[in-house]
């Protein structure tokens, strides 16, 4: 089922109590090898039947995604997990504690998973989302769903259906509009095939919570063959140039004010993403407030980068946050989005 360059069907579904009748249409598309975009608690995902090689390839084509960047397989129950993967003791422990939720486990795969899903690796990344629409869609479809974020490769991940429409309308069969996602950054990816287990990508489940269950370390090496999304390529980037400043708040505010004035004098349109906007009053710039808590900042980050692109800014200056709990994931996304234009002041 391929609707490239044709109209994409958009349906609104109640996010807390999804109507199964509406999701049956989406499930039929999945079963026939089509592409369906659906909300999760983290970001929107671009889904296809994970057991259908041709359907999986369509995901890469729609996104413009490199084939060596593996996908995450979404499941709705542990029975589905056991059918596609070999769960070791650590993986079982983490799944029991955190499934469903914003965590992805890298485990040994079974032959039923096509190599296109895993970039030819012997491992597969598995996640059980907690969003009612995602869980119900997988259940009604009756198959595991391979799904990266539903954006064009490299762009900020979508947290609203409008973001998906901007990127993928005409390239997918159906978009489920379930409103704004709750967390706003992708899942935390944990490689359970090594000891101690490694955090391949910080995300919506704070590392501190995982450390209460198992010993972990954060992956910090360069890779040629990534085991999970977010490891090799530049991701999450707005069209505008992005610079990230971090340090003591008063120093960051002062530096952003200085840079904004200098860039404005050069004729550039400046955007600022800040935890609070009041320290920047009087600056001639597009200023968006992310919020005060890490949860608010994570939820609004990608949406704000997209909004500043829509407003036509040339350069975005972002405030960094303290690297703890969700702040680790936020700073990871800002580093990737800025191409490491990331400076302490």
SS3 at position 136: helix
pLDDT digits (tens, 9 = 90+) for 223-236: 555 665 555 555 78
Reply yes or no: is the peptide bond before residue 100 cis, omega within 30 of 0.
yes
Residue 96 CB coordination number (10 Å): 10
pLDDT digits (tens, 9 = 90+) for 145-201: 999 999 999 899 999 999 999 999 999 999 999 999 999 999 999 999 999 999 999
pLDDT digits (tens, 9 = 90+) for 74-132: 999 999 999 999 999 999 999 999 999 999 999 999 999 999 999 999 999 999 999 99
**Residue 271 pLDDT > 50, yes or no?**
yes
Q: Which residue has the higher pLDDT, 7 or 41?
A: 41
Side-chain half-sphere CA neighbours of 79 within 13 A: 4
Q: Give kind and range of the element (H or E) at residue 215.
A: none
> DSSP character for 267?
T
- Domains of the chain by start residue, with CATH: 9-218 (3.90.870.10), 241-344 (3.40.50.11030)
Question: Which pLDDT does position 231 carry in this prediction?
Answer: 55
pTM above 0.85, yes or no: yes
Reply yes or no: is the peptide bond before residue 196 cis, omega within 30 of 0.
yes
- For 12, the token pair is 């609104």
């Amino acid at each position: 089922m391929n609707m490239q360059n044709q109209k994409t069907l958009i349906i609104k579904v109640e996010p807390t109590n999804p109507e199964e009748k509406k999701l049956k249409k989406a499930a039929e598309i999945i079963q026939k090898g089509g592409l369906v975009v659906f909300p999760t608690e983290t970001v929107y995902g671009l889904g296809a039947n994970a057991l259908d090689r041709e359907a999986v390839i369509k995901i890469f084509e729609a996104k413009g995604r490199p084939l060596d960047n593996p996908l995450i397989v979404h499941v709705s129950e542990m029975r589905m997990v056991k059918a596609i993967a070999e769960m070791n003791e650590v993986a079982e422990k983490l799944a029991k504690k955190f499934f469903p939720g914003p965590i992805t486990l890298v485990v040994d795969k079974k032959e039923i998973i096509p190599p296109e899903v895993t970039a030819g690796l012997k491992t597969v990344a598995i996640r059980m989302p907690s969003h009612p629409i995602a869980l119900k869609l997988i259940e009604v479809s009756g198959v595991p769903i391979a799904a990266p974020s539903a954006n064009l490769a490299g762009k900020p991940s979508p947290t609203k259906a409008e973001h998906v429409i901007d990127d993928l309308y005409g390239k997918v069969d159906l978009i489920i509009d379930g409103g704004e996602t709750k967390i706003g950054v992708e899942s935390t990816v944990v490689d359970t095939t090594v000891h101690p287990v490694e955090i391949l990508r910080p995300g919506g489940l704070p590392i501190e919570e995982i450390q209460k269950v198992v010993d972990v370390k954060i992956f910090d090496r360069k890779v040629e063959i990534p085991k999970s999304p977010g490891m090799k390529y530049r991701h999450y980037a707005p069209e505008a140039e992005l610079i990230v400043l971090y340090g003591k708040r008063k120093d960051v505010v002062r530096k952003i004010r200085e840079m904004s004035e200098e860039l404005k004098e050069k004729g550039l349109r400046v955007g600022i993403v800040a935890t609070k906007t009041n320290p920047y009053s009087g600056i001639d710039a597009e200023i968006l407030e992310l919020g005060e808590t890490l949860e608010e900042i994570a939820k609004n980050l990608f949406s704000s980068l997209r909004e500043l692109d829509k407003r036509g800014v040339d350069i975005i200056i972002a405030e960094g946050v303290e690297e703890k709990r969700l702040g680790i994931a936020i700073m990871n996304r800002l580093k990737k989005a800025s191409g490491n234009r990331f400076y302490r002041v």
